Structure 1
Amino acid sequence: MAKSEKTWSLKEIDQERGNSKGAAFLAFKQLKDSFDEGRDFYYLNANEDGAEIEKLRRDGRIYETTVNAILLTEPGYAAVIDYLDG
């Protein structure tokens, strides 16, 4: 993952918009087939990216119950926001 790239977690989108938990995840699931991993989002696997996921949890960027994390890049974030606004 490009460390300098701005990313958004699904929790951050839910909170930013005042949506209930899971709204951004449902939007992501609807759009996932049109997304390219590495361009629109990063998938962090608990087995391979555990330390990074723990840091996101400590920083309050992901939900406490998150196992594997999804971080959206600018294009993915814009698509999810457009979907939620639709």
Structure 2
Amino acid sequence: MMQQPAPPAALEIGGRAYYTLRQLDGWLGAPKGIAFRAFKRCRDRFREGSDFLRLDAVDDAGRIAALRERELVYPASVHVVLIADTAVARIAEASYMQNNS
């Protein structure tokens, strides 16, 4: 039986663990953009501030630049969505359904 890879290192923000969509694509072994499309498809099931954070290109430019330097976001990303550790399973499920439909 194949073992699932360990999750990537989480980003700690305000005492909570978050993952970038690029991290989730890599962890799921999915092509670029799968986690983002999964998030968009089930967006109404997520609450901003608890399930995800949205980093604004202007207001959070420094934080986004730091993530980009660490290659945690895709180079073309403008605004960045961070998924809380408690919401990762929903993204993984939606990504799996998208890849296998």
Q: Distance in 1 between matches of 2:40 and 2:20?
A: 14
Find the aligned partners of 2:92 and 2:61 in 1 and give their Cα distance. 27
TM-score, L = length of structure 2: 0.78
- Larger deviation: 1-10 or 53-62? 1-10
Across the aligned residues of Structure 1 and Structure 2, the Cα RMSD in angstroms comes to 1.5
Max Rg structure: 2
Q: Secondary structure at the match of 2:82?
A: strand
Residue pair 2:28, 2:92 contacting (<8 A) in 1 also: no
Instruction: Please point out which of 71, 79, 86 is paired with 1:60.
Output: 71
Which has the larger strand fraction? Answer: 2
Deviation string, structure 1 residues 18-66 (Cα, Å, up to 9, x no partner): 2111100000001111110011000000110000000010111100111
Higher helix proportion? 1
Q: Percent identity?
A: 30
Map of 2:91 onto structure 1: 80
- Structure 1: stretches of 5+ with no match in the other structure: none
| Structure 2 stretches lacking a partner, 5+ long | 1-11
CA distance in 2, matches of 1:2, 1:16: 20
Structure with bigger RCO (C-alpha 8 Å, 6+ apart): 1
